[in-house]
């Protein structure tokens, strides 16, 4: 391979989010929201695909991403609902799985449905990461843009709740009193010339072996400190955030709207919320690894909409 591609800026043309609490024992129905987000109904799909379509639909809005736009998606847990449906059907009820249920157990099914809705024929990938669901898919998308595979990508992360919610809590080891939520967070990335509708720039999404590596790298980035704020990912250790603040001099914190409950892909919600707030223009989002030392730094720059 000898193709070299010049580094390019990566702009954010839109964000799309779904983040709602799950109350009672059954997550809410999503069919209407899918139709509202896309403008058309989509049938015979499960919750994982529905949430992906809602997020991606809200992200693109009424615009049509170009046909070569990639669709990249991640999750911390994957499509628990469809897998559970098949497993329960087989082993609890002793019945064969419905063919469509089985086909939809592939985790990249949402990528297919998003691509089909927007008539896309570009790259597609699905990746799972326990601690860094949103960060890993941003990382993958940036790598592939840098490698020259694509100029445009819908990139998202989805984590769902399953019914009965009591079992979902046990499965995820979430305490009885902690609220549960679901989330779907999407960005539309565009590499090259800044598009007219850009709302921000994805400056970097990197993963590090430990905090020291992160701090060394971050300290070398040309950040306008007075105009930069820091956000802590849901698994970031307090002492890591404190160390980053001390090392970089970034004083201001960005506190996103409180999450309505526990779900895994919350980084996307924080980053997307920043892009729509109106104070500092630079965000450094730090996340940590559950039971490990690895950590991530995501840097975004919000564009001043008046300029």
3-state secondary structure of 254: coil
Q: Is 223 in the site for another protein (CB under 8 A)?
A: no
Nearest of 180, 302, 297, 155 to residue 240 by alpha carbon: 297
- Binders of another protein among 10-69, rule CB under 8 A? none
Q: How far is the CB of 88 from another protein (least distance, A)?
A: 6
Task: Out of 21, 28, 84, 221, point to the residue binding another protein (CB under 8 A).
Answer: 84
Q: Which of these ranges, 31-39, 85-93, 215-223, 242-250, lies near another protein under the rule CB under 8 A?
A: 85-93
Q: Say if strands 200-208 and 295-302 run parallel, antiparallel, or are unpaired.
A: antiparallel
Six-digit token pair at 306? Answer: 């008046």
Joined together, the tokens standing for residue 67 give: 């046909």
Select 136 or 184, whichever has its Cβ closest to another protein.
136
Helix (H) or strand (E) holding 285: strand 282-288
Token pair recorded at residue 129: 């990461």
Name the segment binding another protein (CB under 8 A); options: 12-20, 76-84, 254-262, 297-305: 76-84
Select from 113-121, 221-229, 234-242, 297-305 the region that touches another protein (CB under 8 A).
113-121
In the complex with another protein, the residue whose CB is nearer, 278 or 291, is 291
- Of 71 and 250, nearer to another protein (C-beta) is 71
Q: How many alpha carbons fall within 13 Å on the CB side of residue 24?
A: 4
Q: How many helices (H) and strands (E) does the chain have?
A: 10, 10
Contact map string, positions 172 to 211, toward another protein, x by CB under 8 A: x----------------------------------x-x--
Calculate ∠ Cα 65-116-56, nearest 5°. Answer: 55
Rounded CA separation 42/53 (Å): 9
Six-digit token pair at 280?
A: 């500092």
Name the H helices within 160-264. Answer: 165-172, 211-219, 238-248
Least distance between another protein and beta carbon 84 (Å): 6
Cβ of residue 106: shortest distance to another protein, in angstroms?
A: 4
Q: Residue 252 pairs with which residues in a beta bridge? A: 229
Q: Which of residues 118-177 bind another protein (CB under 8 A)?
A: 119-130, 136, 139-140, 143-144, 146-147, 149, 167, 170-172
Cβ 57 to another protein, closest distance in Å?
A: 16
Spatial distance between the Cα atoms of 292 and 276, rounded to a whole number of angstroms: 32
Binding residue for another protein, selected from 21, 28, 66, 97, defined by CB under 8 A: 97
| C-alpha span between 235 and 259 (Å, rounded) | 14
CA end-to-end span of the chain:
41
Could you tell me if residue 268 is left (phi over 0), alpha (psi between -120 and 50 degrees) or otherwise beta?
A: alpha
Beta carbon of residue 92, minimum distance to another protein (angstroms, whole number): 6
* 245 interacts with another protein by CB under 8 A: no
Size of the site for another protein (CB under 8 A): 66
Shortest reach from residue 273's CB to another protein, in Å: 25
- When binding is defined by CB under 8 A, the residue of 25, 88, 178, 251 that contacts another protein is 88
Q: Which residues bind another protein (CB under 8 A)?
A: 1-4, 71, 75-78, 80, 83-84, 86-88, 90-99, 102-109, 111-112, 115-116, 119-130, 136, 139-140, 143-144, 146-147, 149, 167, 170-172, 207, 209, 292-294
């Amino acid at each position: 391979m000898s193709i070299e591609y010049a580094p390019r800026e990566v702009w954010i043309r839109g964000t799309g989010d779904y983040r709602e609490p799950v109350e009672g024992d059954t997550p809410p129905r999503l069919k209407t929201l899918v139709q509202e987000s896309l403008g058309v109904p989509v049938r015979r799909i499960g919750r994982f695909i529905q949430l992906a379509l809602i997020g991606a639909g809200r992200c693109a809005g009424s615009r049509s991403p170009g046909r070569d736009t990639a669709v990249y998606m991640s999750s911390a847990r994957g499509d628990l609902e469809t897998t559970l449906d098949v497993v329960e059907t087989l082993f609890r009820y002793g019945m064969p799985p419905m063919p469509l249920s089985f086909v939809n157990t592939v985790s990249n099914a949402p990528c297919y449905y998003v691509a089909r809705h927007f008539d896309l024929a570009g790259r597609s990938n699905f990746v799972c990461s326990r601690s860094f669901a949103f960060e890993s898919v941003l990382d993958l998308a940036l790598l592939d843009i840098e490698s020259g595979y694509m100029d445009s990508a819908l990139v998202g992360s989805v984590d769902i709740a399953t019914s009965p919610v009591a079992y979902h809590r046990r499965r995820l080891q979430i305490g009885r009193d902690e609220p549960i939520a679901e989330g779907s967070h999407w960005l539309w990335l565009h590499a090259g010339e800044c598009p007219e509708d850009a709302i921000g720039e994805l400056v970097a999404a990197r993963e590090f072996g430990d905090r020291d590596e992160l701090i060394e790298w971050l300290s070398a980035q040309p950040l306008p400190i007075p105009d930069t704020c820091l956000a802590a990912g849901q698994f970031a250790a307090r002492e890591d955030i404190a160390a980053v603040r001390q090392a970089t001099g970034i004083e201001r914190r960005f506190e996103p709207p409180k999450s309505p409950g526990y779900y895994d892909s919350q980084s996307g919600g924080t980053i997307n919320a920043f892009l729509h707030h109106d104070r500092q223009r630079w965000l450094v989002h730090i996340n940590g690894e559950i039971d490990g030392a690895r950590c991530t730094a995501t840097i975004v720059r919000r564009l001043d909409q008046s300029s």
